[in-house]
Amino acid sequence: MMGAEFVALSLPPLLIGVFAAVACALPGNFLLLRRQALIGDAISHVVLPGIVLAFLATGVVAAWPMMLGAGIAALAAVVLIEVIRRLGRIEPGAAMGVVFTSMFAGGVLLLEQSDTSSVHLDVQHALYGSLESLIWLDGFGWASLLDWEALQGLPPELTRMALTLAFVAVFTAVLWRPLKLSTFDEGFAQTLGLRTNLLGLALVVVAAIAAVAAFDAVGSIIVIAMFICPPAAARLMTNRLERQIGWSVLFATLSAVLGYVLAGYGPLWLGFENAVSAAGMIATVSGLILLVTALAGPCRTRAGAPTET
Amino acid sequence: MHLELATQDGHRKDVGKDTRSPLEIRGLTVSYGEKPALFSVDATFEPGAMTAIIGPNGAGKSTLLKAALGIVKPVSGRIRSYGKSLSAQRHRIAYVPQRASVDWDFPTRVLDVVLMGLYRQLGLLGRVRPKHLEIAMSCLARVGMEGFADRQIGQLSGGQQQRVFLARALAQGADLYLLDEPFAGVDAATEKAIIAVLKALKEQGKTVIAVHHDLATVPDYFDRVFIINTSRVAEGPVAEAFVPEYLQEAYGGRLATAQMGAAG
Amino acid sequence: MLWQALTLQLGYNATLVTIGAALLGIAAGATGTFLFLGKRALVSDAISHATLPGVGLAFMTMVALGGDGRSLPGLLLGSAVSAAVGLLCVSWLTRRTRLAEDAAIGAVLSVFFGFGIVLLTIVQSMTAGRQAGLESFLLGSTAGMLWNDAVVIAIGGAAVLALVLVLRRPMSMVAFDPEFAAGSGMNVRQIELAMMGLALAITVVGLKIVGLILIVALLIIPAVAARFWTNRVGHVVLIAGAMGGLAGYTGAAISATAPALPTGPIIVLVAFVLFVLSLFAAPGRGVLAAVVRHLKFQRRVHLRQGLLALAQGQPIYERLTLRLMRRAGYVRPDGVATDEGRGQASKALLDERRWQLLRSDPDYETAAARYDGLTPLERVLTTDQITELDRNLGPEAVT
């Protein structure tokens, strides 16, 4: 398992899975604390109409136009949710429900109406991606990692996801203080002159960027699960935001690795022939981690949480 | 060294001499929906005084504070602080919001909350240095909470939460302190501690403005009152403005006789 | 073709599906209203996504027992059980941990859905599962539906609607004011459970028509749209039911006319059109009405403040105030007051003085509560009362 085959077949999807999981979990921490956990759910649903529109506009299935389309759709959804919430004075959950279902329905309709039978574009792909197929044909063992020519053959998703993760990490680090402040006490943050509206919007945009980059590689199930489950489990482990971020990164990584391995090898161990969906398995593992922390996490309840040392 | 002393001295004099109003409000109207919460309010708060904003429930007391700080957007009106626009004077203003306005389950420690008051000094990426910790700890000590620095904020009592908020405002090192119901739902010891801190601020020449709801303690705690019920009812020193006539106008029949006695 | 569909002339199956969708839409609109008013609209999203593992497990169980595996009642039963488990997880996470409900909903929906996908990939690798077509539950599919399945849907739609009608009264009380409902001796927890049970039943019945990703739209959109038209709970329920029914009926009918018009998305988009119409055009809470009202209100505030400033000889700082005063003919372009402006100003000042007097007079307690700076006193007091008030104002004020 650790040989040439691993480097070619398992290393790239594993890394992509880990990068995607962590890139979503980082902004997820703040969304969770701001009671906006479901914005990830909404964003991942509207990715579909975005990529369909991008396909209709360009006529090709290519990564960049589709990611652009998905990004625009995600932004449009966020703006629409905010507009409907304010104009109609509707609670955010309901506004989200209206927007993402309608946009998703529009996406499915467009897909059915357009002739996409010849290309690989369908609802299933958008939902659970194809992590397993992101292999590195030029990878012949660990030595290939030092071989520039072989590295050229790495799946482009890996580079994109790594860049996205770096961007999300830098965003979180640079805006750490204002994000924490405005999440805890928005009114006070405003009196310091912080533009809390812009900050909130920036957070959602970064979440959307992470979601769009991740969905392309791994599908939207992982995206929703990673926005919520690792941060939620992490919240039950600690009462310090700094440590919560650390736990969430650990849990996201663990989910991605365990999920990928279980999906690929689990069925074989059980005597089945075919692997199961890696995206689905990663989400499942993240749920199991949440279950364990909900049962035994040191800070799982509001009352009587022990002091941390 | 000599130069630094001089500027410090000059700065102190400047604060002492700054006779411009720390907070001047003109024609402020704020509405939630179609009914004004505040209508055409004018106010000029005295520098170096402790002023209580009083009025019945729903009179717009907290709204006045929030509009003065730019947290809620007015329909019309103009806010000036020390003769300049609000945004130019933010560093001179500290704010203590209502305790209930935040989620105390937020994963952070008491010390971190107080350090938020130093945001303007720390900036985006500035490191928290020993001198910052010293300031934060001394602010905690001033409200009697130095033993709680490492405590998770969710484990504090209501009074302790209020003291932490006050410590955060102290860390801001401002000239004008705006407090929204600082005594609401706190224990007697906390109330005493807070008022002591506020009086000490006044001694240093700072200005304190607090939304207050307990009429009985107004004469003991404050030197001026600003009475409001949607629009301004009266403003002035306690002896002149805190009189039954104005209170009646603001509170109507809701003014309990006992409180009238305390006021008279 | 569309006309034939709308008049139910496209064959038995299409007719049954259309009727079933309409009944389901009514039930969903009404039930969704209770969820929406209780600020729990997105709980339905967790319910619907949590059905997927049940579909997969039911299929495997039925195959293991030697059955067909594709039997609709069996699959729906499985989906109901797993959705119920999902619902329990949401409420367990919310009550037993510090997580908020939105986080619990998101966790449950993503994990159950992910697990469901894992099960579907297993089903696909089974020999019996190659043609199972379980993916159709994701987006719904009524094309080529069996007669039996259509009957199940029609009966299911009628059954959930009947349940909604039976439970509507206690549910509206609980959604509107749970504390009052508890105070009047109702078992709030049981009724909330019933509400969730209904949402679950609607989801399950709707799986085949609308699909699990979009069924939540039927529970949310009609309720949100209906809220714009009225402030009364009973009316919201009725309007939401009507809109849901309309969306279900029209959507299913339109979709029956062509193969490339999937039922679920069409129903959702019809509902969305109704929502957009409501958002903009509804009187009272609609956007257009609100914008007009806000502009009028802003004008009143600025004019009144401008007039008061004029009367008291104070400067007017705000440009908007000046502009509105100019447009109303109260001041000349150079800022000097016109005769009319002066007249209106002293009138406004007099009104303000009268109000001030009134508010300090305990006898006028109720009237004083109506003070908001804008309402002229004539609208609150009779002429006689004002004359009475003016006597206390002193002669110099009334000029």
Residues C261 and C337 in one domain: no
CATH of B2-263, one of 3.40.50.920, 1.10.10.10, 3.40.50.300, 2.60.40.10: 3.40.50.300
pLDDT tens-place string over residues A59-85: 777 778 888 888 899 889 989 998 898
Predicted pLDDT at B9: 39
Q: What is the DSSP string of C314-346?
A: PPP--HHHHHHHHHTTSB-TTSPBPHHHHHHHH
Among A127, A280, A299, whose Cβ lies nearest the Cβ of C118? A280
CATH of domain A4-217: 1.10.3470.10
The pLDDT, as a whole number, for residue A143 is: 76
Residue B257 pLDDT greater than 70, yes or no: no
C247 and C301 part of one domain: no
Express each pLDDT in C10-33 by its tens digit.
777 788 888 888 998 999 998 899
Of C294, C297, C301, which to mutate for an interface test with B (greatest number of B Cβ within 10 Å)? C301
Query: A147-158: per-residue pLDDT in tens?
Result: 777 787 788 889
pLDDT, tens only, B103-149? 999 999 999 999 999 999 998 888 899 999 999 999 999 999 999 99
Contacts of C94 in chain B (CB under 8 A): none
Identify from C57, C99, C269, C287 which residue to disrupt to test chain A contact, counting A C-beta atoms within 10 A and taking the largest count.
C99
Least confident of A94-108, C57-71, C296-310, C354-368: C354-368
Strands B93-96 and B231-237: unpaired
Of C212, C245, C280, the position where a domain reaches its end is C280
Residue B8 — pLDDT band, cuts 50, 70, 90? very low
Please say which residue of C280, C301, C334 terminates a domain: C280
Q: What is the pLDDT of residue B209?
A: 97
Q: Looking at the structure, tell me whether residues C167 and C299 fall in a common domain.
A: no
**Residue ranges per domain, chain B?**
2-263
Residue pLDDT, tens place only, C345-383: 988 888 888 888 887 777 777 777 778 878 888 888 888
Mean pLDDT of C315-333: 86
User: Are residues C273 and C313 located together in one domain of the fold?
Assistant: no
pLDDT for B5 equals 38
The string of pLDDT tens digits covering residues C230-279 is 988 888 989 999 999 999 999 988 988 887 788 889 999 999 999 999 99
**Same domain membership, residue C303 and residue C233:** no
Question: Can you give the pLDDT at residue A121?
Answer: 61
User: Are C270 and C295 within one domain?
Assistant: no
Lowest-confidence pick of A160-164, A302-306, B112-116: A302-306
The pLDDT of residue B258: 40
CA distance B263 to B257: 10
C399 falls in which pLDDT band (50, 70, 90)?
A: very low
Average pLDDT over residues B69-98: 92
**Domain that includes residue C369, residue range:** 288-393
- B216-236 pLDDT, tens digit each: 999 999 999 999 998 898 999
C354 reaches B (C-beta below 8 A): no
Q: Which domain-ending residue is among C263, C280, C297?
A: C280
Q: Do C274 and C300 lie in a common domain?
A: no
**Same-domain status, C308 and C347:** yes
Q: Rounded to a whole number, what is the distance in Å from the CA of A230 to chain B's nearest CA?
A: 15
**Domain assignment of residue C328, yes or no:** yes
| Overall average pLDDT of the A259-267 stretch | 87
Phi-psi sector, B33: left (phi>0), alpha (psi -120 to 50), beta: left
What is the percentage of chain A residues whose pLDDT exceeds 90?
A: 48
Q: Is it the case that residue B184 has pLDDT exceeding 50?
A: yes
Q: Which residue has the higher pLDDT, B169 or C72?
A: B169
Q: Which two tokens stand for residue C268?
A: 């959702």
The answer on C199 and C171 residing in a single domain is yes
Total tally of structural domains belonging to chain C: 2
* CATH at residue C76: 1.10.3470.10
Confidence label for A249 from pLDDT (cuts 50, 70 and 90): very high
Among C301, C359, C362, the residue with its CB nearest the CB of B29 is: C301
Q: Say if C81 is an interface residue toward chain A (CB within 8 Å).
A: no
A280 to C114: CB separation less than 8 angstroms, yes or no: yes
Q: Is residue C228 domain-resident?
A: yes
- Walk across the sheet containing B176-180 and list its strands: B93-96, B176-180, B207-211, B50-54, B224-229, B231-237
Amino acid at A265: Y
Q: Do C208 and C142 contact (CB within 8 A), yes or no?
A: yes
Which of B26, B76, B246 shows the shortest C-beta gap to C301?
B76
In eight-state DSSP terms, residue B21 is -
Q: Do residues C40 and C73 share a domain? A: yes
pLDDT over 90 percentage in chain C: 30
Task: State the angle between helix axes of A92-113 and A63-88 in degrees (0 to 180), rounded to the nearest 10.
Answer: 140
Q: What is the mean pLDDT of residues A178-197?
A: 94
Mark whether C171 and C315 lie in a shared domain: no
Q: Write down the domain spans for chain A.
A: 4-217
Query: Does residue A176 surpass a pLDDT of 90?
Result: yes
Find chain B residues with C-beta within 8 A of A187's C-beta. 66, 69, 71, 95, 97, 101
- Residue keyed to tokens 């329905």: A105
- Report which secondary-structure segment, H or E, holds A78: helix A63-88
pLDDT at position C216 over 70: yes
Least Cα distance to C42 among C236, C220, C227 occurs for: C220
* pLDDT tier for residue C177 given thresholds of 50, 70 and 90: confident
- Asked whether residue B247 carries a pLDDT value surpassing 70, the answer given is yes
Flag if B36 and C371 touch (Cβ within 8 Å). Answer: no
**Chain A positions in Cβ-Cβ contact with residue C42 (cut-off 8 Å):** 38, 93-94, 96-97
In angstroms, the CA C181 to CA C47 distance is: 25
**Residue C336: partners with Cβ closer than 8 Å, 6 or more residues away:** none
What does the pLDDT read at residue A308? 37
Given this model, what pLDDT does residue B11 score? 42
Measured distance CA(B40)–CA(B30) in Å, rounded: 9
Regarding whether C310 and C272 lie in a shared domain, the answer is no
Question: Is pLDDT at B7 greater than 60 in this prediction?
Answer: no
Radius of gyration, CA atoms only, chain C: 30
Q: A247-256, B242-251, C136-145, C234-243: which range is least confident on average?
A: C136-145
| Average pLDDT over all residues of chain A | 87
Q: What's the predicted TM-score (pTM) here?
A: 0.88
